[in-house]
Amino acid sequence: MSALQFPEAPSDKKALEEGTAFSPRFDAAGLVTAVVTDAEDGKLLMVAHMNAEALALTLETGIAHYWSRSRNALWKKGETSGNVQTVVEMLTDCDQDSIWLRVKVLGHDATCHTGRRSCFYRTVGLNDGKAVLADDGSRPLFDAGETYRKPV
Amino acid sequence: MSALQFPEAPSDKKALEEGTAFSPRFDAAGLVTAVVTDAEDGKLLMVAHMNAEALALTLETGIAHYWSRSRNALWKKGETSGNVQTVVEMLTDCDQDSIWLRVKVLGHDATCHTGRRSCFYRTVGLNDGKAVLADDGSRPLFDAGETYRKPV
């Protein structure tokens, strides 16, 4: 558990948008959105969520932690795959309900659980009145099946 | 109203992650997260939300539309300020609950309602055991007070 606490967001809009107090606006589920880019070339790697504990641990350790909504658990990214994210810079937005992490990815330099560098590997377009996806050709950088294999 | 419909997300993980059907996974409030970057230099501009209608209109018109959670209304970005976003590319992530828009911003080339180019103008750091914000020095590119002034 981290001892770091975050203050309540101020009701004053000017204080929230122009002030120096970090008062993240967690949603009803206690989460903020986290956008993660590569600090070197700016590539968008993933979108995830953080609760107060994940946010505090990320600030204190310099290693990205998230809240896994599917597993309902604190998630130290890369714990299994080795693809740990070290935080180069953290920013927040005007109304403090989103976090931007600029990171360096260790291990295979891959962020997506499919093995690809980024979770965003498909473009969305219209074809004959239907929205369809096209793969951008990104290849896996590690063997996801092997890495995440559950012990028998 | 747009006529474009999106299919239900498949329960099969492989189809969701590797398929060509665009089946956005809207949350309980009917929204997906949208991350918006400048198509030219990759700068993160804003994080917003889209419902099915905003997503469909964005795809059909090539102009970014969102769902404003604060106003509870469809939001054609830039309608008041002129800072309309034309979509250069739309992508989705592995589990199709986030959208990435690569855009060109018209008008003042500003995205934030404070007048700044990006909503992310403050870094988060630790100082004496407290999380604090530091302004990155971005200056407003238009007069937000004047632009968003309500008619008397």
DSSP codes joined into one string, A16-46: HHH-SB------TTS-EEEEEEETTT--EEE
Q: pLDDT for B1-14, tens place per residue?
A: 678 999 999 999 99
| R_g of chain B, CA atoms, integer Å | 17
Per-residue pLDDT at A2: 77
Token representation of residue A1: 């558990």
Q: pLDDT for B74-128, tens place per residue?
A: 999 999 999 999 999 999 999 999 999 999 999 999 999 999 999 999 999 999 9
Cβ contact A124–B6 (<8 Å): no
Any A CB within 8 A of B15 CB: no
Residues facing residue A90 across a β-bridge: A101
Nearest chain A residue to B120 by CA: give it. Answer: A93
Q: Is A18 exposed, middle or buried (0-12, 13-18, 19+ CB in 10 A)?
A: middle
Q: Which domains does chain A carry?
A: 13-113 (3.10.20.810)
Per-residue pLDDT at A131: 96
Output the average pLDDT for chain B: 95
Give B 106-145 residues with CB within 8 A of chain A: 112-114, 119-126, 129, 131-136
Per-residue pLDDT of chain A (152 residues; tens, 9 = 90+): 678 999 999 999 999 999 999 999 999 999 999 999 999 999 999 999 999 999 999 999 999 999 999 999 999 999 999 999 999 999 999 999 999 999 999 999 999 999 999 999 999 999 999 999 999 999 999 999 899 887 76
The arithmetic mean of pLDDT across residues B45-59, rounded, is 98
In B, which residues are within 8 Å of A19 by CB distance?
133
The arithmetic mean of pLDDT across residues B19-25, rounded, is 97
Task: Please give the single-letter amino acid code of residue B30.
Answer: G
Cβ contact B60–A126 (<8 Å): yes
Per-residue pLDDT at B152: 67
3-state SS class at A127: strand
The arithmetic mean of pLDDT across residues B54-68, rounded, is 98
Counting residues of chain B whose pLDDT is more than 90, the rounded percentage is 92
What is the least distance, in Å, from the CA of B34 to any CA of chain A? 9
CA distances, A69 to each of A74, A96, B2, B104, B116 (Å): 9, 20, 31, 32, 32
Any A CB within 8 A of B28 CB: no
Four-residue CA torsion sign, A42, A45, A48, A50: negative
Per-residue pLDDT at A152: 67
Nearest chain A residue to B22 by CA: give it. Answer: A132
Per-residue pLDDT at B2: 77
Give A 49-78 residues with CB within 8 A of chain B: 56, 59-60
Would you say A27 is a known binding-site residue? no
Cβ contact B44–A100 (<8 Å): yes
Categorise residue B82: left if φ over 0, alpha if ψ from -120 to 50, beta otherwise: left
The arithmetic mean of pLDDT across residues B123-142, rounded, is 96
Any A CB within 8 A of B92 CB: yes
CB-nearest to B91 from A56, A90, A123 is A123
Checking if the pLDDT of B150 tops 90, the result is: no
| CB pairs A-B closer than 8 Å | 130
What is the least distance, in Å, from the CA of A3 to any CA of chain B? 9
In whole angstroms, give the CA distance from residue B40 to residue B47: 18
Would you say B95 is a known binding-site residue? yes
The arithmetic mean of pLDDT across residues B35-44, rounded, is 98
Residues facing residue A48 across a β-bridge: A34
